[in-house]
Structure 1
């Protein structure tokens, strides 16, 4: 195809208004635009109805005039306000809208392994998909390697599936890289960012991957590039005079011809950087600096005195690096930088060239194309072009034969250069044009090009995904325009439309992997709050009345192991509920040593003198313990102090109650007690002498916000303190965190029943939350029937003791353990626990929520360990503070979603078997 001739024709017809405006506003290279200034001028809005009206600068989306933003600020294309949420939209559970829907799952479409925040966003996109008549289209795997008899030995995605399976099984020590090449739809990164985020959530993040030196066009997002100084000379394969014999698939040459140029990258989480550059005679150098400190200087001179070639330099970055800066000296040509974590995980490179086509990527210097592609060692290469081919075909500037020949050659080049990588070809999406009268109509070409790409993918041994039919087929672009999902040019989707395409492609990839992959723990692990509208009716009704203004207290007591004992999870949930329904006090705090985990809740503990903190985990069954399975035993003269709401603003009008939980022991003098610095008069002698230790709950009225209780052992006596609790008389929620690290439901079962029941009843819970199972999952040969029977009986007993409080069972988080070879494996009884606890909840009449499903399902812990920030603890069992807060956000969202559904009378999710 003679592109120079096409451009010449366009210039000849410069004064033919319709064609001039069409070329000026169409998604083609900037050099071809007769009137590029129309992209910014005030005439733009008046020209919207003419020819191919686009708000694109060099093919890159820019804000519409009515929504201008500061130059250089990241922005999505013009879209309705709901499109402007960040990538984690919905995780701010405190701001959950009152009509937030329940988050269901749709079996079989690929949602199963998403975390709760991602799932909530996916469900919104599912609703949008249905509204727009978009479709879930499976990937056509095709055959990359045939046997002698003609049957297929290996399908088109087999290397990619194998690599992901190795990540899942923790047998891979290198990243799984994807190289995604395309046109302006990829350049915006609005489709691929959804895919990248979800793959990294499921399989762990290996880093940001390939990034340009600076933005290769004068508009658009900075997300896939550094922030370069002014003065870089930029040459692109899409330009009329492209950089011949120099650039590979990265497509852009950034040259610092003289003086010094620089660019900066956000390097947070990265431990390895690799510079892509052109090694050439008499070339200069690049200084790499981290956080303003020089790290390494890279010389870009080549070994040959006559030949230039693609070259690479790999540099290790210091831990906790924040910023990577590149500063040139002399004449230097750079092609990009990769940033990686140095750990296994998914890396998703995207290179989108504005106006990109198969023919454009074939302009790349073959040796550089091969060298750059092999350097990335991709497990899969994705080719997403076709939109511009269809555009030129519709304008009769190319033929289908030329399109076929160019795609055939590009597929062949990819397969030959990285024969061990999977490859996938995507069809173009639907598009439209406007008549001279301004009426939008379907544009011919997309279906024809799609059919060619499907056939060439099959013949070339690549997989194929039909984005055209996934979008909705012919006429979809017109429907998307009407719904606000398409820009006025009828070619480029807006942010939400791009998110929907990314959603559909991601789920197609996930379905293909699920079919090729056998789950390590083959159990149903359903996200969302199950049976809430049946099991939590009174709790939800009480919350509704509280929200409507009634002066009610809503008590929640969570019993569990270290996930509960850490306080991170319950603190985050308490914050959300208190903001919405009111704060009625901190609730119960166990006796014990000082702990920074209590700082966020403004609680302080202190032990002075000789103390022994004992727990029920390894003790003889039947002992007297506090609600957390802890008791603090102090020698004569020792003191314990617990301070609530330390540093809180004082409200002298606030009243409440401070309760002290301790043991009264025969022939042991009562301790000295001080509340807010004032001595409490000694207790009157009991009417009947004590014959055995007894749990004693003392209650003291208090005024104000901050309060402190101090217990001192008598000079010749020991003292045993179990804990203390603070509540205000104000209406709202009280959430007790009653956790013992390392414990199981059996631990709670074996504690003295009367003592536990009496203390729990004193807390007046409306809802009992049971979070056991993670430690049971590590018990070899766990008896599922015994766990089910004992746990169900325990729940029933405690419900009875608390006046039939409602109940909610939380399942285990994902738990991993290292085998003898150092690989992470599932905890031995995880599948047993996952299969048993939903039945326990059902049999006990409780709701059920799966933390493991909210984390992302199978092997989620591995992905949380590799995330940035890190959510999973290195021990494979616990979460980091950030991880607990993330999980709490998921739980609070599901809980409040079920609450909203109850208010509307809508059913919530059901557990199987109901």
Structure 2
């Protein structure tokens, strides 16, 4: 063995001697062009340093070839390990002190929205990350690095141009995550060379994205460092006996390597193990090869077995196993038994945050990743479900080009093929292509010059990105352009290999990349769903004049009555909203009675107002949504209670109340009379009332009948009994106090639309409206319409307008006020919350209908906060989990907001000239 080593050393020395002799000889040939001389001019400087540079370069290249690793000017090959952080020059403190407090970007004022001017992209960062970013900004200025914007690319072209940018899937996912609309993590797969193998660049991007949008966990980790060198932050602590198979090897096996580019096999050395620090992880996903004769993997948390994963399968396929981790576990250990091949482990915490995977291999270039087994690449990439795939190559392409080992056409073809593979594997993901960064070479004369080919490769990659529908980032320009690597070297920001940034330089590149992403994200903010959806009571001029005049009269203590009837769907039917309005208005302006109560089953929602319903015997509750034919007669709420012989219905007002005043009052009963109607007996407070005289002519169709009974005070009970002869149809009852004040009726049918009300018998509605005598009609439809994917906006505009005009007339010329829909959202199959399909149409049509019909308008959605407000209300316990309704507290809050706007408009009315504000409208 010693003899073999001596022979090898002799051979190396002989090679070096011949190299030196050839270099000197060629440099002295008179006819040889200067550019081709190994030593440009022996007269221009000392010969020895130039010879040393030549020998060092040749020796390093020989070593790389000897160990079978691709030449890599953008790599940390096994012989050129990534420098650890502690070996870096300490510049951070020095820069911060030199720059002073004015360095970087000033802090925005608290509460400044992301939409505010943010030219650099610092929005959303917490104090710690913002401070780091400001230090990086000072360093950027010192180094002459530049903020270079992403070129977004175009995923889909249309007749009008680009219809979807290259980063739209990623930005949409981030926005959904940030706004609480997404329940799944947003994953990024960053594939690259040695520039990210150390994880400095990607770690900055990861930390910033997770700071802005939340963390989903560590993400994908290798079993061991792919080259057993450099930082181990993206790998486990593995035992010695793992056997590596890599796409960066000289002759990697075909048709077997995974998307990560490395397979870790438990070889002949026996069982192997690997340990991961799992911190806040709650799930571990193990990626492996299921193969004939496969062994097993024991999964342990803090030494306690969780499960055993079997890897036996025919034929060989990539597979994964998801393991739930205990909440308090600190370490995850995998132990192999038998023939096992692992590809990596993903650690996630189960939160809907950002997961940023780093797949960095020294020596890699686009063509190298094409060596993965493409079915495996597709399957594992799809399993990760990324929203963005970053392709970061170019340095090794430029190196190979500078050595004439490849051609521009080959570089382009390989890059195109990799982009195509990514797009086919995960068609719903965005993609982003990096350019190479700048690098330098040392001439024979000892001079540093930019590496040839970097700009050419950057231009090729820009073209490939554009053709493939990917975004593009010019890292070369961001670094400072060609020649910037020389400045970085002199500042201690670049390794002596003239290729790899040291940790501080990598951090700066990550900083510039992150801010480029953030600026593009902010610029991609979609316009509001509807531009003119704004809070506040609108169209109040002249539309609510009579209403405000009556309120003014009541406030002065004069006799008047303001009847308000609110018609709508479940928001109205819940009574939470209208109870707040009724209580506030009657407290300030006087109480004119509880008003109308629909017939129906017992409901706890009526209890706060002291109202109860009770059914005994056989009853059927019908509603207008069940109608098979239009034109049927219904109560104001679109409901009717049909009782068989012997059935009884009771409605109690002010149950248990001890009100001292006993003003005259009127108790009214609403029912349908007609063919087949049963014999009705009515009791008021337990006393039977005289039977209703029969009509002059028998009714041939169901007809609304209304009967009123004089009573005193607010506390009463009305009971209806069916004495037989047919069915009895009851619509509701009302209690009105004959004193000054406000009566606020709530008539809502869950699930209904304006079209539902428009399809009911007009005469039945007119009769009930004439009896209730409202001076103000409040319409609250639109939420159910917004859930219709095929909503006909023109039909809604026409039918709703005609309905309002008709009901205003039937009510004797009442004023009107439209409440716009609340925000409505629904979940996609991926768990992302999106606006209801018809929401934009509803938000556009309702204000137009209000203006056309002379109604005031109030947008509930705008008052909630506009786009995706429902999610924020859900997070605060105000929105229901269905994305449609509010909680009781939510309805109360919304009613308070509406009341505030209504009374503000009323106060503005009172501030008008006295002659106008004091005019009294006599009751109809």
Deviation at 1:283, TM superposition (A): 1.1
Task: Classify the secondary structure of the residue corresponding to 2:170.
Answer: helix
Q: After superposition, give the CA deviation of every residue in 1:470-500 in whole Å (9 maximum; x if it has no partner).
A: 1111101001111111111111001111111
- For structure 1, the 5+ residue unaligned runs are 1-9, 37-50, 64-74, 91-95, 522-779, 783-813, 831-914
In the alignment, which of 118, 136, 139 is matched to residue 147 of structure 2?
136
In the alignment, which of 247, 259, 263 is matched to residue 249 of structure 1?
259
Question: 2:328: which partner in 1?
Answer: 320
In the alignment, which of 524, 532, 549 is matched to residue 516 of structure 1?
524
In the alignment, which of 11, 15, 25 is matched to residue 60 of structure 2?
25
The 1:16–1:291 alpha-carbon spacing in structure 2 relative to 1, beyond 3 Å, is farther
Question: 1:820: which partner in 2?
Answer: 879
Deviation at 1:33, TM superposition (A): 4.0
The 1:395–1:819 alpha-carbon spacing in structure 2 relative to 1, beyond 3 Å, is farther
Deviation at 1:81, TM superposition (A): 2.1
Deviation at 1:82, TM superposition (A): 3.8
Q: After superposition, give the CA deviation of every residue in 1:807-861 in whole Å (9 maximum; x if it has no partner).
A: xxxxxxx996244244999x9999xxxxxxxxxxxxxxxxxxxxxxxxxxxxxxx
Deviation at 1:467, TM superposition (A): 0.4
Deviation at 1:114, TM superposition (A): 1.2
Q: Quick check: 1:498 aligned with 2:499?
A: no
Question: 2:199: which partner in 1?
Answer: 189
Maintained 8 Å contact 2:104/2:138: no
Q: After superposition, give the CA deviation of every residue in 1:510-539 in whole Å (9 maximum; x if it has no partner).
A: 011111126999xxxxxxxxxxxxxxxxxx
Distance in 1 separating the partners of 2:215 and 2:13: 48
Maintained 8 Å contact 1:21/1:35: no
Question: 1:449: which partner in 2?
Answer: 457
Task: Classify the secondary structure of the residue corresponding to 1:294.
Answer: strand
Distance in 1 separating the partners of 2:516 and 2:882: 29
**TM-score normalised per structure 1:** 0.51
Deviation at 1:373, TM superposition (A): 0.5
Q: Give the alignment of 1:326-475 within 5 angstroms.
A: 326-475=334-483
Distance in 2 separating the partners of 1:176 and 1:414: 17
The 1:84–1:420 alpha-carbon spacing in structure 2 relative to 1, beyond 3 Å, is farther
Maintained 8 Å contact 1:103/1:119: no
Task: Classify the secondary structure of the residue corresponding to 2:300.
Answer: strand
Deviation at 1:301, TM superposition (A): 0.9
Deviation at 1:83, TM superposition (A): 5.8
Maintained 8 Å contact 2:174/2:213: yes
Task: Classify the secondary structure of the residue corresponding to 1:485.
Answer: coil
Q: After superposition, give the CA deviation of every residue in 1:2-57 in whole Å (9 maximum; x if it has no partner).
A: xxxxxxxx99978747777436536x9x8624699xxxxxxxxxxxxxx9999954
Deviation at 1:187, TM superposition (A): 0.4
Maintained 8 Å contact 1:23/1:33: no
Q: After superposition, give the CA deviation of every residue in 1:209-256 in whole Å (9 maximum; x if it has no partner).
A: 000001111211110000001111111100012132111220001110
Distance in 2 separating the partners of 1:240 and 1:35: 5
Q: After superposition, give the CA deviation of every residue in 1:694-717 in whole Å (9 maximum; x if it has no partner).
A: xxxxxxxxxxxxxxxxxxxxxxxx
Question: 2:234: which partner in 1?
Answer: 224
Q: What's the Cα RMSD here? A: 4.0
Maintained 8 Å contact 1:408/1:456: yes
Maintained 8 Å contact 1:184/1:353: yes
Maintained 8 Å contact 1:247/1:310: no
Q: Give the alignment of 1:192-341 within 5 angstroms.
A: 192-258=202-268, 259-302=270-313, 304=314, 307-341=315-349
Distance in 2 separating the partners of 1:134 and 1:128: 9
Deviation at 1:123, TM superposition (A): 1.0
In the alignment, which of 82, 85, 88 is matched to residue 79 of structure 1?
88
Q: Quick check: 1:477 aligned with 2:485?
A: yes
Q: Quick check: 1:58 aligned with 2:78?
A: yes
Q: After superposition, give the CA deviation of every residue in 1:441-483 in whole Å (9 maximum; x if it has no partner).
A: 1111110000000000000110000101011111010011111
The 1:296–1:479 alpha-carbon spacing in structure 2 relative to 1, beyond 3 Å, is same
Deviation at 1:84, TM superposition (A): 10
The 1:155–1:24 alpha-carbon spacing in structure 2 relative to 1, beyond 3 Å, is farther
Q: After superposition, give the CA deviation of every residue in 1:133-190 in whole Å (9 maximum; x if it has no partner).
A: 111111101111112x261111100000100011011010100000000000010101
Maintained 8 Å contact 1:24/1:35: no
Distance in 2 separating the partners of 1:377 and 1:116: 31
Maintained 8 Å contact 1:233/1:257: yes
The count of residues paired between Structure 1 and Structure 2 equals 501
Maintained 8 Å contact 1:427/1:449: yes
Distance in 1 separating the partners of 2:492 and 2:882: 48
Question: 1:165: which partner in 2?
Answer: 175
Distance in 2 separating the partners of 1:446 and 1:21: 23
Deviation at 1:203, TM superposition (A): 0.3
More relative contact order in 1 or in 2 (CA 8 Å, sep 6+)? 1
The 1:294–1:483 alpha-carbon spacing in structure 2 relative to 1, beyond 3 Å, is same
Task: Classify the secondary structure of the residue corresponding to 2:253.
Answer: coil
The 1:823–1:220 alpha-carbon spacing in structure 2 relative to 1, beyond 3 Å, is farther
Q: Give the alignment of 1:742-891 within 5 angstroms.
A: 817-822=876-881
Maintained 8 Å contact 2:75/2:194: no
Deviation at 1:438, TM superposition (A): 2.6
Distance in 2 separating the partners of 1:108 and 1:115: 17
Distance in 1 separating the partners of 2:369 and 2:195: 15
Question: 2:761: which partner in 1?
Answer: none
Q: After superposition, give the CA deviation of every residue in 1:620-656 in whole Å (9 maximum; x if it has no partner).
A: xxxxxxxxxxxxxxxxxxxxxxxxxxxxxxxxxxxxx
Q: Bigger radius of gyration, 1 or 2?
A: 2
Distance in 1 separating the partners of 2:102 and 2:79: 37
Task: Classify the secondary structure of the residue corresponding to 1:81.
Answer: coil
The 1:53–1:402 alpha-carbon spacing in structure 2 relative to 1, beyond 3 Å, is closer
Maintained 8 Å contact 1:23/1:34: no
Question: 1:910: which partner in 2?
Answer: none
Question: 1:6: which partner in 2?
Answer: none
Q: Give the alignment of 1:673-688 within 5 angstroms.
A: none
Distance in 2 separating the partners of 1:155 and 1:410: 20
Q: Quick check: 1:175 aligned with 2:173?
A: no
**TM-score normalised per structure 2:** 0.50
Maintained 8 Å contact 2:248/2:361: yes
Distance in 1 separating the partners of 2:330 and 2:206: 22
Task: Classify the secondary structure of the residue corresponding to 2:386.
Answer: coil
Task: Classify the secondary structure of the residue corresponding to 1:253.
Answer: strand
Question: 2:800: which partner in 1?
Answer: none
The 1:180–1:35 alpha-carbon spacing in structure 2 relative to 1, beyond 3 Å, is closer
Deviation at 1:116, TM superposition (A): 1.5
Deviation at 1:113, TM superposition (A): 1.6
The 1:820–1:386 alpha-carbon spacing in structure 2 relative to 1, beyond 3 Å, is same
Q: After superposition, give the CA deviation of every residue in 1:293-343 in whole Å (9 maximum; x if it has no partner).
A: 0111000111x1xx3221111111111221000000011111100000111
Distance in 2 separating the partners of 1:448 and 1:97: 37
The 1:155–1:411 alpha-carbon spacing in structure 2 relative to 1, beyond 3 Å, is same
Distance in 1 separating the partners of 2:189 and 2:80: 20
